Structure formats: C-alpha cells, structure tokens
Chains A and B, each alone.
Chain A
C-alpha cells in the first residue's frame, strides 16, 4: 500500500460545481497535512494546510479525519482557473528528519 494515495481522476466538472477530493494516508503517526496545487509543467504551490478542526479559505475547505486516516479538499463554485492537479502531502519522520510524502495527485478539469 502506498503511503499516500489519491484518485488520479480526471474529475471533469462544469463551472460552478462543487467538487471534493480525498486522500488517504497509511502512517498514523503523521502530524502535518497539506494540499498543494500543481499546474502543468510548473512547480507545486501550497494551497492550504489542513488542521484537525478543519479549515476554510474562500471557496476551499480542507478537513482531516484521523480515525479513518484521510484528508479531504472541497472546492465550491468551481472556476475555470481551478483546473490543475491537486496533490496532498503528509509528513513523515525518519533519520533524515521531518519530510513530506506526496500523493500521486488528482487532476481537475473545470469546463465552461
């Protein structure tokens, strides 16, 4: 089982739709969770951190379910500009220190 798993998609949705992605992780000791957005041939950009109590940033809501070991990202009122690949990232700790493991990404395509 991969450490961090995501449905690769693509999710094809019309403008204005609400879409949700899930990401499961295997390491129950993970403490930090993030969603990144990556546009084609570009670097990932931090979208938002995910807090235990859930958090919202405009049209984006992130939630964490520790019992079931997954995080989610909800996008409301989708815009064309939301089309991208969304990567979840979960921290892990080993002898090299604290680092992130990324999921394979979920591709979102918002259509007019």
Chain B
C-alpha cells in the first residue's frame, strides 16, 4: 500500500516552454500533497503544500505564478513549471499524505519517484 506515482520520470525541454508533472496516489486518498525540489547534493526543499479542492500554499521565495499547482482530486495533483529556464532544472518530487487512521499513518508522507527536469 501507499504507492505514489509521478509522470514523467524525466523531461528535457527548451527554455521558455511549460512542463507539467503529475503526481498520483494509487492506493489511497491523498488529502494533502506536497511538492519538493532537490538540487544536486542538496536536501529536499518544500515548494508548496496543496490540499484537495483548495489553493496551494507556497513556501517563501517560491513564485506561485511560475509553479502552478492543481489538486483537483484526492488522487491527483499537478505541478506546471511555466516558461521554464535552465535554473529550473532540478529533481522535482511529490509526496502524499492521507489514508485512514489505523490502516496507515495520517502523518506519514509517501514520496513519488521524482521527475528530473532538464531545461536547455
């Protein structure tokens, strides 16, 4: 149980294009999803938190108009990197939290496999 998928697993795009990344919880309902970014040899940095049906809450320094997050259902959240530039190249990882108490911890986050974005 507690499987989270991400698509695509890697993407290479030209500067100025927009890239959409999907995050799905496959066997549980994710009331909350998180989007992280990780640069080489650095830790996970939380970009934003999204609760199903409401607007995402962005961490300080993260541009909400550049990183569009949609959490339209309990199993799907998307992150769109708009007008991507080389400095946006990074490893983007989503995680999901949810489930039923007693069956799985509602406090534990389960991570997707990540999406490696390279902007040329």
Partner of A96 from the list B57, B93, B108, B113 (CB cut-off 8 Å) is: B57
| B11 interface residue per 8 A CB criterion | no
Question: B107 contacts which chain A residues (CB < 8 A)?
Answer: 32, 91, 98
With A91-B107, A97-B49: A102-B44 Cβ-Cβ less than 8 Å: yes
Band of interface residues on A: 20 to 34
Band of interface residues on B: 20 to 34
CA distance A87 to B95 in the complex (A): 15
Partner of B110 from the list A41, A46, A95 (CB cut-off 8 Å) is: A46
Contact of A97 with B43 in the complex, beta carbons under 8 Å = no
Question: B114 contacts which chain A residues (CB < 8 A)?
Answer: 42-43
| A65 interface residue per 8 A CB criterion | no
Contact of A87 with B91 in the complex, beta carbons under 8 Å = no
Residues of chain B having any CB pair with chain A under 8 Å? 32, 34, 42-44, 46, 49, 51, 57, 91, 93, 105, 107-114, 116
Residues of chain A having any CB pair with chain B under 8 Å? 32, 34, 41-46, 49, 87, 89, 91, 95-105
13 A-B pairs within 8 Å (CB atoms) are namely: A32-B107, A41-B91, A43-B114, A44-B93, A46-B109, A46-B110, A49-B108, A89-B109, A96-B49, A96-B57, A97-B49, A100-B46, A105-B43
